[in-house]
Amino acid sequence: MPTKRSVELSSAEQQALLKRLIDGELPDAQGRFGPFGGRYAPETLVPALQRLEDGIREHLKDDSFVAELNAELTQWVGRPTALTYARGLSQRWGASVWLKREDLAHTGAHKINNALGQALLAKRLGATRVIAETGAGQHGVATAAACARVGIPCIVYMGEVDVARQAPNVDRMYQLGAEVVPVTSGDRTLRAAIDEAFRDWVSDPEGSYYLLGSAVGPHPYPYLVRELQAIIGREARAQMHQLAGGLPDAVFACVGGGSNAIGLFHPFLGDKDTLLYGVEAGGRGTGLGENSATLATGTPGVLHGSYSILLHNDDGQIQETHSVSAGLDYPGVGPEHSLLQAIGRVSYVSATDAEALEALRECCAFEGILTAIESAHAFVGARRWAKDNPNKRVLIGLSGRGDKDMPTLSKVLPRDVFKNKAA
Amino acid sequence: MQPHERISAAIRTANDAGRVGLVPFITAGYPDKDGFVETLKKVASAGDVVELGVPFSDPMADGVTIQRSSHAAIEAGVTLSWILGELKQTDGIDAPLVLMSYLNPLLAYGYKRLAEDCVKAGVCGFIVPDLPLEEGTELRAALNEQGLALIQLVTPATPDARMQALCDASRGFVYAVTIKGITGGAQALPADVTDYLDAVKAAAGDTPVCAGFGVRASEQVSSLGQHADGVIVGSALVEKLEAGEDPAEFLNGLRG
């Protein structure tokens, strides 16, 4: 039997890597975040990935691109998003709880930050067509909207399991002018949708732009997505100073592929008194296939173009995952998260389906906010921590709104009033 | 002769006899796990080199046929260890064997042990579709240690300078992907495929060039054979096996 592999870093290596992350030196020229990342892609896509990397270097920090992106983020996305003091939860948890409201961004989730930035980039790179994958449908909706705004046709691959459980988002994508292709291969969720999007891109690597939605994939995607999502953390950090009187003691974000979490965490990496927690989907149990808690139980391997922590068996076959939330139902995680775990800067914990649903109801009842089931996982981690660490300042990344989850919620949640039972 | 030299020698032997080298691909243990060795022997009897697919759960460069065969093989319990175990016990296959595997099963197996076990099992080399040249240093070193080939792919999207670097690094043969796309496509081969293959041949020097992706008919084999040293037939053969047809008969038919 092959022994489970792991990545061991000495304490000096850990500190050096953290410093390089904070100083903006990672990923390195090979697309590596320490041992993780890289570019494991079919040969047909290597020149396309190189062109994308060159295009990012030319445009992403260029004044005219930044000005165009910022204007669109303000006028069309509605940024900056609010930081909300969660009065009800603060009282219940014995903490000062603050919510970074990505649910208020246009199309209802943080996904728009990345979709808009990449759609503008695709336009500058002369793409004639955009391809995207989606799990919960939030990235698909964001991409459809951004492509409509920018003026590029768009095709979205979505696993047929997700098409069924996120029906409202499928209709939204169609209305926004995207073509939605249900994926019937593999596990028929996000992972299969990514496989299929890559297959499409291999057929037209020059004309098509693959607008990847999470901080995963071959270099330069994990870098690009982090740069476009880091606006969440930059805004939240400034808002905490302005409104909460100082930086948070702990920050919580849900982690599937990890785009909202990396965006929220990255600007806080240098704040050594701020603890960072990623909350993965604990699903319905701890066994392989029962959850999507990749960092909690996975080992290193290569999937979808990068070396990162994965859920796979001893033969290297990727495992099917389970989560009540389509957006977290993924057997891999972005390479930067694998590094952040390996160097101990971020702790990764998990929340079960049942805990997430209860947190969702609590947030509805006491804050008047219907969060996405994905985001509800972050609330579970925050609540647990706040109970153990009283009177602290806690920041939660509320990555998206829950309207798209109504088909699932109508099935699993009773219609009684949560307040009366749990007060 | 080193294992990687057996691959190029087999292609050259066919060329010397006035034939294009034929490289059939099958997914190991598909459609019938128990009949693996028997199927392999039939295929090997009609091919010059055999490409044996190690099934992977996420074959991102493959079309529906090989997705289907990979999935079924995994369900039937086919693993890399099982494949190497079966090969170790099998005699009487003259055609050199090349394993086609995505990277993760190889990583899970461990490179050093993999190279050693492959030599014992009579495997001569590897094709790894999600391992670009830049990421292949470690695996290449482990395979070189045992004289095994790491076959590089080039595609119509490959720029000239990169094409040369890929051909220089490739051992056994150079795998010239004929189309921009995934395996098993039914579309006609592009009109400029001959110019492309001539360019690959020029870059490859003494290393044989085998053309693959979307090859289904004897006319394609003979026309590609004018510009390549070998032709790879994958999805079309897997579909014949699924239909219960005799693989050797199909392959011999392709030779025209």
Secondary structure of residue B100 in the 3-state scheme = strand
Q: What is the CATH number of the domain that holds A83?
A: 3.40.50.1100
Integer Cα distance of A307 and A338 in angstroms:
9
Phi-psi region of A320 (alpha: psi -120 to 50; beta: other; left: phi over 0): beta
DSSP A173-201: HHHTT-EEEEE-STTSSHHHHHHHHHHHH
Integer Cα distance of B5 and A115 in angstroms:
49
| Domain presence at residue B256 | no
User: Looking at residues B154-182, what average pLDDT do you find?
Assistant: 96
Contacts of A51 (CB under 8 A, 6+ apart): A125
| Domain presence at residue A19 | no
Integer Cα distance of B130 and A207 in angstroms:
21
Integer Cα distance of A116 and A150 in angstroms:
8
Nearest Cα neighbor of B146 from B120, B126, B116 is: B116
**Predicted pLDDT of residue A412:** 83
Nearest Cα neighbor of A331 from A372, A364, A295, A356 is: A295
**Residues 160-219, chain B, touching A (beta carbon < 8 A):** 162, 166, 177, 180-182
Both structure tokens of A110: 């943080």
CA-nearest residue of chain A to B156?
Answer: A44
Domain boundary among A226, A250, A275: A226
Q: Are residues A86 and A139 in the same domain?
A: no
CA atoms within 13 A of residue B233's CA, in its CB half-sphere: 34
Q: How many Cβ atoms sit within 10 Å of the Cβ of residue A244? A: 18
Annotated catalytic residue, options A90, A100, A102, A111: A111
Q: Is B130 on the interface with A (CB under 8 A)?
A: yes
Q: Are strands A346-352 and A275-283 parallel, antiparallel or unpaired?
A: parallel
- Cα of B128 to nearest chain A Cα, Å: 9
Contacts of A407 (CB under 8 A, 6+ apart): A165, A166, A167, A168
Say yes or no for a CB contact (<8 Å) between A202 and B182: yes
**Between the CA atoms of B61, B67, B73 and B78, what dihedral angle is there, to the nearest 10 degrees?**
20
Q: Are residues A221 and A257 in the same domain?
A: no
Q: Are residues A183 and A120 in the same domain?
A: yes
Q: What is the tally of structural domains in chain A?
A: 2
**Which residue of B104, B109, B158, B177 is the best one to mutate when testing the A interface, meaning the one whose CB has the most A CBs within 10 A?**
B104
**Predicted pLDDT of residue A419:** 59
Q: How many Cβ atoms sit within 10 Å of the Cβ of residue A101? A: 21
Q: Are residues A210 and A347 in the same domain?
A: no
Q: Mean pLDDT score of chain B, rounded to an integer?
A: 96
Integer Cα distance of A109 and A65 in angstroms:
23
> Residue B205 pLDDT > 60, yes or no?
yes
Integer Cα distance of A236 and A250 in angstroms:
13
CB of A370 closer than 8 Å to CB of A360: yes
DSSP state of B77: T
| Domain presence at residue B229 | yes
CB of A372 closer than 8 Å to CB of A105: no
Say yes or no for a CB contact (<8 Å) between B157 and A48: yes
| Domain presence at residue B136 | yes
Integer Cα distance of A337 and A21 in angstroms:
12
Q: Are residues A105 and A123 in the same domain?
A: no
CB of A348 closer than 8 Å to CB of A42: no
**Predicted pLDDT of residue A3:** 38
**Per-residue pLDDT tens digits for B52-64:** 999 999 999 999 9
CA-nearest residue of chain A to B179?
Answer: A203
Active site includes A227? no
Higher pLDDT among residues B182 and B142, named by residue:
B142
Q: Are residues A203 and A344 in the same domain?
A: no
Contacts of A173 (CB under 8 A, 6+ apart): A134, A137, A140, A141, A144, A156, A180
| Domain presence at residue A132 | yes
Q: What is the CATH number of the domain that holds B231?
A: 3.20.20.70
Q: Are residues A267 and A390 in the same domain?
A: yes
Q: Are residues A92 and A126 in the same domain?
A: no
A345 residue type, one letter: R
**Predicted pLDDT of residue A418:** 64
Annotated catalytic residue, options A133, A235, A280, A355: A133
Nearest Cα neighbor of B62 from B30, B15, B21 is: B30
Q: What is the tally of structural domains in chain B?
A: 1
Q: Which domain holds residue A117?
A: 28-73+111-226
| Domain presence at residue A13 | no
Strand order through the sheet with A393-398: A83-85, A96-101, A393-398, A250-254, A275-283, A346-352
Q: Are residues A119 and A88 in the same domain?
A: no
Task: List chain A residues with CB under 8 Å of B103.
Answer: 40, 302
**Residues 98-127, chain A, touching B (beta carbon < 8 A):** none
- Cβ burial of A85 (10 Å; 0-12, 13-18, 19+) is middle
CB of A158 closer than 8 Å to CB of A133: yes
Say yes or no for a CB contact (<8 Å) between A199 and B61: yes
**Predicted pLDDT of residue A407:** 84
**Between the CA atoms of A290, A293, A297 and A302, what dihedral angle is there, to the nearest 10 degrees?**
100
Cα-based distances in Å from A6 to A88, A282, A335, B27: 42, 21, 14, 30
Integer Cα distance of A7 and A187 in angstroms:
28
What is the residue whose two structure tokens read 């006035």? B18
Bridge partner list, A98: A85, A395
Say yes or no for a CB contact (<8 Å) between A315 and B103: no
| Domain presence at residue A270 | yes
Q: Which domain holds residue B227?
A: 3-250
DSSP state of B31: S
| Domain presence at residue A16 | no
pLDDT along chain A (423 residues), means of 10: 64 97 97 98 96 98 98 98 98 98 98 98 97 95 98 97 89 97 92 94 95 98 98 98 98 98 98 98 92 95 98 95 91 98 98 97 97 98 98 98 90 71 48
Q: Are residues A121 and A201 in the same domain?
A: yes
Task: List chain B residues with CB under 8 Å of A301.
Answer: 104, 107-108
| Domain presence at residue A96 | yes
| Domain presence at residue A137 | yes
Both structure tokens of A140: 């698909």
| Domain presence at residue A23 | no
Q: Compute the count of residue pairs across chains A and B with CB atoms less than 8 Å apart.
A: 115
Phi, psi of A118, deg, nearest 5: -70, -35
DSSP state of A266: G
CA-nearest residue of chain A to B82?
Answer: A315
Domain boundary among A184, A205, A226: A226
| Domain presence at residue B255 | no
**Per-residue pLDDT tens digits for B99-158:** 999 999 999 999 999 999 999 999 999 999 999 999 999 999 999 999 999 999 999 999
Of B60, B71, B159, Cβ closest to residue A198:
B60
Active site includes A272? no
Q: Are residues A259 and A200 in the same domain?
A: no
Q: Are strands A36-37 and A83-85 parallel, antiparallel or unpaired?
A: unpaired
Q: Is B81 on the interface with A (CB under 8 A)?
A: yes
Domain boundary among A226, A246, A262: A226
Q: Is A133 on the interface with B (CB under 8 A)?
A: no
The H-assigned helical ranges of chain B are 3-16, 36-46, 64-75, 80-88, 103-109, 111-121, 137-145, 160-169, 193-204, 218-225, 235-242, 247-254
Q: Are residues A299 and A398 in the same domain?
A: yes
**Which residue of B131, B135, B167 is the best one to mutate when testing the A interface, meaning the one whose CB has the most A CBs within 10 A?**
B135
> Residue B189 pLDDT > 90, yes or no?
no
Q: How many Cβ atoms sit within 10 Å of the Cβ of residue A231? A: 24
Phi-psi region of A130 (alpha: psi -120 to 50; beta: other; left: phi over 0): beta
**Which residue of B69, B103, B107, B163 is the best one to mutate when testing the A interface, meaning the one whose CB has the most A CBs within 10 A?**
B107
**Predicted pLDDT of residue B221:** 95
Integer Cα distance of B20 and B179 in angstroms:
20
Both structure tokens of B245: 């047809």
